[in-house]
Structures are given as structure tokens and as C-alpha cells.
Amino acid sequence: MSVSIVWFRSDLRLSDNPALIKALGSGDAVVPVFVLDVETEGVRAPGAASRWWLHYSLQSLDASLRGLGSRLVLRRGPAEKVLAELAEECGAKAIFWNRVYDQGSRDRDGRLKKLFSERGVTVESFKANLLFEPWEVSTQSGAPFKVFTPFWRACRMLPPPATPLPAPRTLPAPETWPAGDPLAAWRLLPTSPDWAGGLRATWTPGEDGAKQRLSHFVDETLADYRRARDLPAVEGTSRLSPHLAFGEIGPRQIWQAAMTRGASAASEKFLSEVGWREFAYNLLFHNGDLAQRNFRPEFDAFPWADPDDTLDAWQRGRTGYPIVDAGMRELWTTGWMHNRVRMIVASFLTKDLLIDWRAGERWFWNTLVDADLANNATGWQWVAGSGADAAPYFRVFNPVLQGEKFDPDGDYVRHWVPELASLPNATIHRPWAAPVPPPANEYPERIVEHGAARDRALAAFRNLKKSA
């Protein structure tokens, strides 16, 4: 029996997986494979939190495949070498995968297509991880969009996303399974020390966990999304981002679930946030070095400060600003941070501390379970002012006012910064103003004074504009 290979990557699911359905329809035996490629130049290795999630996501996918009479073959090494060897071992006549969009992976995919075509092996790739391909959305002149609102308007004028594909009910197995690595041998989980207790308590990686999260969101949270999405102390967002990052659920499934509730202001707002993800991938596709280089070249001359002890204080949630520290501690404990707070902590790093956005991007890449090259780079550059459709240079988030506006009762801060729990609402976001401020050995003094830091940032931005 001839064999087709399905190469799983950022699509660790059975439902709405066009590469898998194509392989099933070929009539061949199907060999699903995941390659841990940390060696190919230009392809970014997963961070520590993502490695934790990847372990359980692969475990879940393998269990689902075994329920269909199949299994997931795990191999480690440069994907070009691994897949070429696997195809030869299996006598594969076809290989299918779903597209990814970072430059390093696209370059690798192009080399693989050339290699396999020269060997007479059919190769096809599919759209599974976006609603709209980057080349499907452009300005009237054919250029990529640089501003979100017209981009999303153009997307909504296109035919709506296709109906998600059903999961297969069975997969034909090869006569002999190729060898693969045991998952434990990859050592994706932390051991010394095991810092992942908060991740385990918070998340259920895998396709079933993703479907449960989506169902809960549309049934319980979506109706109040417009109001609650900015409040970090309440469950007002979907928390689907890590499931999307690993492809345990696809954007078409999310689109369909939101639309089945009927068009509403809440569903439109939620889908526009999904649209921001599309916009980020559009930017990444057309700007392959988005995570390393300023989108706006004039920012190459920006006078970033040296990342001294203030970077460490920011990373550890010890800045003296409660909303910033709460966010950074939530991140370290759970591998996730509320989106409103992400903007606050990013503004604090890049504008209050004048530390290069790339230092923050690297920290998020290592600590977020939803670390996503497009979203991460786009978000950081948006806040820093160096990106497409960026926040204007004079927009510097005031961490005190942001806390008072979006965490008015201090519930979020009290949860993540318990040493401030006894402070009243009036001073929970400005503990230095409390009648009896907390001792410095319990909660740190401010590492910068926001007013002075804002003035310094604005002066730097104004000088940059003058020299541009």
C-alpha cells in the first residue's frame, strides 16, 4: 500500500485540518509526523513555556490519532533531512502540510518542495492557520496594508471563510510503522526546578481543551465581551490564544462558533480581535524580520537605554507599580497575561524604562504559552511606536491611571501582589501614597517616577522625529 505523509506543525488537531483530509482522500496509508526542528537557520526554537505546552499538545494529538487506528511519529532534527529520510523509508509518494508564514519556515518549505518534486514525490500545502492568506488581502495598488482598520475592512469584503472540515473517523495505517522518538526523550518539560505548577493548574493543552475553551467562551463570555475584555480581574476574554498558537483549534472554527451566535456588537468586536491576528501575520509575511528589526527604519537611531537592573525588576514583577508587577507575576505563574496588561507592561518597559522592545519580545517568547512570532513582534512594535499602525509616540501608558481605570477595585493586583492586599482601593495602585506605605522589604519602591520617565521618553521621541 502506498504512503502519504502528513507533516504536523502549528496545526496540532484533527478537525479542520485540510492537509490531513487530503491525505485521507488520497487512498494511501497515512503517516502523521511531527519534527522538532531547532537547527534550521531562521526557524525560531520554542521558548520554555511553549515547550511545556508542546509536550502535552503532542501527547493529546497522539492519543487522538491512536483513537483512529493511527499514531504520531516523532522525530528530531533539521526538517529537510528528517522528512527526506522518512519519505525514503516509507516509500512515500506524497507529503502534505499546512502553511506557516515566518520567513525561515517559508524558505525551508520552498527547499523541501523543490527536493521532493525532483524525487517525484507530490507535495501540497494548504491554508489552515489563517482566515485569509496574506496574498489575498492587499490595497487597491496591490501593496500590503500597513494600517489595521482598512486591512480588516478589506478582509470583510472578501468571501467569508469556508466551513470548517470535519475530523476524520479513521486513518489507514501503513503496513509497518517507521520508528520515532519517545516524547519523554525530548525533555520538553522543566525538571530542575519544576516551575510549571501554575501552568498545569491553569491550562488543558490539546484539541479537546481548545474546544472546551471555545464552547465556554461563546456560551458564557461572548455576550459581555465588549465591556469585560479590558478588565483583567474578570474572565472577559476567550483565552484561546495558546490553542490558536499551536493550532489545536483553527480560526475558521472560531469564526463559525462566533457567527452561530448571530451578528452582534460583541461578536463583531471579538472577530475584529481575531482580525488583529490576521493583520499580524500579514505583516510578518511581508516583513520577514519583524521580530528582529524595526518596521519603521527611523527607530534604528532611537537611544535605547542599557538593560540594567531595571530589566530584571520588570521581569520579576518588582517595579513598584502594582498593575505592572501583577501582570509580570501572572505571566511567570501561568504563562499568560491579560491583553490590556500586556500593553501596560510593554509601555512601561519601552517608554518608562526606555529599554529596547526586543528585550521584552524575547522575554515574552520564553515565558508565554501563547508565544506567537507574528502577534508577539507586532504587539511589541505597536506599543514601542516602531511598528505598523503603531501607537503615536506621545501615547505613554500611565500605570497608575491604567490600574485605577481597568482594575478599579484592585482585585487583580490583590490576587497577584498579595503583599498589597490590605491597602484600600484609593491607594492600591499607588502604594507610596498610602498613610502607611508597605515596607521596602515587602514591596519595592518605584524604580522610576512615571512623570519624569514620561518626559524623558517624549524628549527622546521628539528628537527622533526631528532627525528623521
Task: Quickly tell me which residue has 508577539 as its cell.
Answer: 376
DSSP 82-103: HHHHHHHHHTEEEEEEE---SH
Catalytic, out of 7, 52, 255, 276? 276
CB 74 within 8 A of CB 86: no
| Residue 284: CA count within 13 A, CB half-sphere | 24
How far is the C-alpha of 277 from the C-alpha of 378, rounded, in Å? Answer: 9
Q: Does residue 129 carry a catalytic annotation?
A: no
Query: By the 8 A CB rule, do 226 and 266 touch?
Result: yes
The C-alpha cell at 376 is 508577539
CA distance 267 to 38: 38
Q: Would you say 5 and 90 are in contact if contact means Cβ atoms under 8 Å apart?
A: yes
Residue of 97, 314, 380, 416 with catalytic role = 380
Of 39, 124, 273, 419, which is the active-site residue? Answer: 273
**Is-catalytic flag, 380?**
yes
Catalytic residue among 80, 124, 136, 339: 339
Annotated active-site residue 273? The verdict is yes
One-letter amino acid at 292 equals Q
User: Is 432 known to be catalytic?
Assistant: no
- What are phi and psi for residue 450, nearest 5 degrees? -60, -45
- C-alpha distances out from residue 76 to 4, 79, 86, 266, Å: 20, 8, 12, 43
Query: Residues 16, 129: contact at Cβ < 8 Å?
Result: no
* 314 assigned to active site: no
Phi-psi region of 341 (alpha: psi -120 to 50; beta: other; left: phi over 0): alpha
Asked if residues 280 and 374 have their Cβ atoms less than 8 Å apart, the reply is: yes
Amino acid residing at 445: E
Catalytic residue among 304, 366, 419, 432: 304
Distances from the Cα of 181 to the Cαs of 59, 191, 442, in angstroms? 13, 20, 47
368 contacts 336 by C-beta, under 8 angstroms:
yes
Catalytic residue among 52, 314, 336, 357: 357
The residues carrying an active-site annotation are 273, 276, 304, 339, 357, 380
